[in-house]
Amino acid sequence: MRIDLHTHSTASDGTEPPAEVVASAARAGLDVVALTDHDTTAGWAAAEQAAHEHGVALVRGTEVSARARGVSVHLLAYLQDPTHPALVAELERTRAARDGRARAMVDLIAADHPLTWEDVLEHTSPGTVVGRPHIADALVRLGVVASRDAAFVELLRSDGPYHVPHYAPSAVAAVRAVRAAGGVPVFAHPGADGRGRVVSDDVFDELADAGLAGLEVHHRDHTPAQRERLTRIAERLGLLMTGSSDYHGAGKANLLGENLTQPSVLADIEKEGTVPVVRP
């Protein structure tokens, strides 16, 4: 069974609509795919319908923005109640902050490069959570940079002149909110040190105490050394270990199914979650 538990659609910063992500998963030979857009569940309904049409099981989820000791981190929430008041309020606050942050960054960049908010919106769909990838796509279209990756290196990096921080809950609070909503929280790409700072080992202990269920160990942004480190941490804390593509369509080079999750791990996630896996 081929299981990929981390993908994005146009509901956040992917380039394919939710239904097309599921169709792409079927073409890639996946048996199970998770849709985990940033801070939203807006793509769930369309993805569920597509799962039945294409014969692919769907794990409904969300990638939740958070912070741990000043480090930006992401949690993959799986099978949570999408109507739970506390989690809904937290996600709404984060989405509003991300939108304000994107507008502020566009204003800063526009002082030096030809870019408008309207240029950015051309790369979104109704209800999209606007973020840096959409700014990057606009900059590529305008010829300011050669690619989305180049935009992040040259203009959108976290230590760059155009960076603007945004609100995100503490990682401990996010883990607890996901659990309160009946979801299963897994730390996304926790060793991706090429993206910036990563958390120290003792942070995993704090998150495990708060209810963290697992670590996304197998990810293209993890070096062999980081995979070994994360495996040791997961084994020490009794955490699940997942593998995923972090697929964004044409937005990134990541390929569906390039890292996979064991069926036994998915079974454990399903046991702990509130909403069922959608099976065709």
Confidence of residue 193 (pLDDT cuts 50, 70, 90): confident
The tens digit of pLDDT for each residue in 111-159 reads 999 999 999 999 988 878 788 999 999 999 999 999 988 998 899 988 8
> 103-154 has which CATH code?
1.10.150.650
Per-residue confidence (pLDDT) for residue 239, from 0 to 100: 98
Per-residue confidence (pLDDT) for residue 157, from 0 to 100: 87
- CATH: 2.60.40.2470, 2.60.120.10, 3.40.50.720, 3.20.20.140. Which one for 3-92+167-272? 3.20.20.140
Mean pLDDT, residues 31-54? 97
Per-residue confidence (pLDDT) for residue 127, from 0 to 100: 78
At residue 47, what is the residue type?
Answer: A
Mean pLDDT, residues 249-275? 96
Per-residue confidence (pLDDT) for residue 196, from 0 to 100: 74
**Backbone phi, then psi, for 243, in 5-degree steps?**
-135, 140
The boundaries of every CATH 1.10.150.650 domain in the chain are 103-154
Per-residue confidence (pLDDT) for residue 166, from 0 to 100: 87
The tens digit of pLDDT for each residue in 72-82 reads 999 999 999 99
The boundaries of every CATH 3.20.20.140 domain in the chain are 3-92+167-272
Instruction: Copy the structure tokens of residue 68.
Output: 């741990």
Instruction: Copy the structure tokens of residue 258.
Output: 């390039």
Report the DSSP beta bridge partners of residue 65: 74
- When the pLDDT of each residue in the chain is averaged and rounded to a whole number, the result is 95
